Amino acid sequence: MIIGIPKARAQDERRVVLPPRGVRSLTERGLEVMVERGAGQGAGFPDEQYEQAGARIVHGADELWGRAGLVAHVGPIDRQEYDLVQEEQVIMASLHLAVAEPELVALLQARRCTAIDFAMIQDDNGNLPVLRPLSQIAGRMVPQIAARYLQTDHGGLGILLGGSPGVPPAEVVVIGAGTVGRNAVRACVGCGARVTLLDTDFDRISEIDWTFPGQVTTFLATEAALRKVLGYADVVVGAVQVRGHRTPHLVTRDMVGLLRDRSLVIDISVDQGGCFETSRPTRLSDPTYVVDGITHYCVPNLPSLVARSATYAMANALLPYISALATLGVAGALEADRALARGVNLRNGRLVQGGLGAVRDHDDQGEPA
């Protein structure tokens, strides 16, 4: 099976699914890898490095999609790539089919594709081994995003994230104690901010309380608690994920109104629909918008800001799965690895994830997906 690595076509996406050293590990096992020209440029990997690693550089997306049995993609399939998808092709990407256009789901079904969302690969302990490193990066980027958009020149409140002698630091509220949330808490505490964390899992908030004694205020995530913390927050971070399903709107537009003018919302859950009712996806070159006086930062591919680091982190986790699919074939790889099997959204065009089926049913009824 030929492995194809296309150039990302989504606006402001600079990552590539594998760096040259990852490609080398595949070619040294006798696997054939095709890389579209310029695929690694945004992350600082020139074509020459891929050629030295044993890949073949192709000059067009048509050739790559037309010949590759396995296409390893960074993000969701872009609309301009729909016509490139081949019959019975295997696509591994961060697909987010639960919030994808119905047309894409129908296309993958009609062409009997096997679609694997690497963000949904899950081991027996419930861990998401490919999503985790990207979530860690996104969480750790929260302070640098917050610091910028709290500045007066970016329309913020003019608050120093870590404060100064005699001046209190910013109040950061994190909703969700998963990988993103825990890393956001760690990074914000390290920068001197005052941090509040909410989650529905008592064990998770107990872990944070133990890890950061006296440094993090924790609440069980009820509507009453959310309303309380929104009343004093300078920055609110949405870090909620429901595997395979659209993220629920935990913060309604009415609740957003509890925030004071020029405070900041960072919705890292926006790639799965967002946990703020007022969230909508933006892009890195135009990352913010204002609703009712509140700045919203809702970039789905936030780790692309550090494209080189994100590429290495993603490749470390993805490489064994790509190798297994190319070596053993789909049936063999899924049988050998239950974690990989849990990431399958469609198998030969058939929906195998309950959440995706539910979304499809809603679309057929004309309801919002």
Burial tier of 261 (Cβ tally within 10 Å: 0-12, 13-18, 19+): exposed
Q: How far is CA 21 from the centre of its chain?
A: 23
Q: In what order do the strands lie in the sheet with 171-175?
A: 216-220, 194-199, 171-175, 235-238, 264-267, 294-297, 288-291
Sign of CA dihedral 76, 80, 83, 86: negative
Is residue 267 part of the annotated active site? The answer reads: no
Max distance between CA atoms of the chain, in angstroms, equals: 65
Residue 243 half-sphere exposure toward CB, CA atoms < 13 A: 19
Is residue 271 part of the annotated active site? The answer reads: yes
The answer to whether the beta carbons of residues 146 and 138 sit under 8 Å apart is no
Distance between CA 232 and CA 228 in Å, rounded?
8
Q: Which of 117, 267, 271, 337 is catalytic?
A: 271
The answer to whether the beta carbons of residues 77 and 95 sit under 8 Å apart is yes
What is residue 353's three-state secondary structure? coil
Q: Which of 73, 96, 249, 296 is catalytic?
A: 96
Q: Would you please indicate which residues are annotated as catalytic (active-site) residues?
A: 96, 271
